[in-house]
Amino acid sequence: MFSNNHTLALARAFLVVFISSGLLIGCASNKPEVNMVDEENFKSINTFFVQPPLNPVNVPVENHVVSSISSILLSKGLSPASKDNADIEVTFFPSSAIKDNGKSMSIGLGTGVFGRSSAISLGSIFNIPVGEQVTQYQNLQIDIIQNGEFIYSAAGSTELEAKDSITIQKELTNLVHELLRPYPAKSVAPAETN
C-alpha cells in the first residue's frame, strides 16, 4: 500500500504538527525542548548526514539550515559522510505559526514565511483584520536518528520581528545553535608538542 519512505514521511508530518502545537503553547518562553537517549554513547558517533526536508519550500533557507547544522556538528568533532556511510542521520522540520492577539493560531508545515510561495498548510487560510496584534513564529525541530531510532530530538521556536529572508536566516541560525548546544561533543585529544 504505502512504501516505507512514504509511511516515514507521514509519521514525520504528524510528529511535526504535534511538536509545533506544543511549541505554540509554550511560545512565550521560547525555551528549546531537548531530549536525548540516556543510554546512548554519543562519543562513539563519528559521522553524520543531514537530510533536508522531503518537501522543500524555500531551498536557499533550508540549505542554510543544513549548513548551520553541519557547522555545529563539525565543531563538536563529527565528520560529514554520505547517507549510507554515516553513523547518524540528522533531519529537520521547519514550520511557521501566527498568533493573532493571543486568541487564535495557525500552523503551517514548511517555511512558507520565507517568501511568496506558500507552505503545506494544515488547516484553513485566514485573514487578519487590520489593527490586530499578530505575532509570527518560526519553529524548528531537529532529530538525530541512528539505526532507525531517535537518539536526540530538539524543538524550539523564535519570534520573528521582521519577515525578510535575512532576518529569518539569522534567527534560524541562532535557533539551530540553541537546539544543538546540548549535543555532546567528542573528546578531542590534546595536540602533542615536540
pTM above 0.85, yes or no: no
Q: What percent of the chain has pLDDT over 70?
A: 61
* Residue 193 counted as domain residue: no
Any domain includes 192: no
Q: CATH number for the domain including 159?
A: 3.30.160.670
Task: Look at the chain and report how many structural domains it folds into.
Answer: 1
**191 inside domain:** no
In a domain, 110, yes or no: yes
Inform me whether the pLDDT recorded for 109 exceeds 90.
Answer: no
**pLDDT for position 123:** 36
pLDDT for res 133: 56
Q: Quick check: is 142 in a domain?
A: yes
The amino acid that residue 162 corresponds to is A
Give the whole-angstrom CA distance, residue 117 versus residue 50: 24
Q: Which residues pair with 170 in a beta bridge?
A: none
Determine the 3-state secondary structure of 128 from DSSP: coil
**pLDDT per residue as tens digits for the range 120-161:** 333 333 333 444 556 677 888 999 999 999 999 999 988 877
- DSSP 8-class letter at 187: P
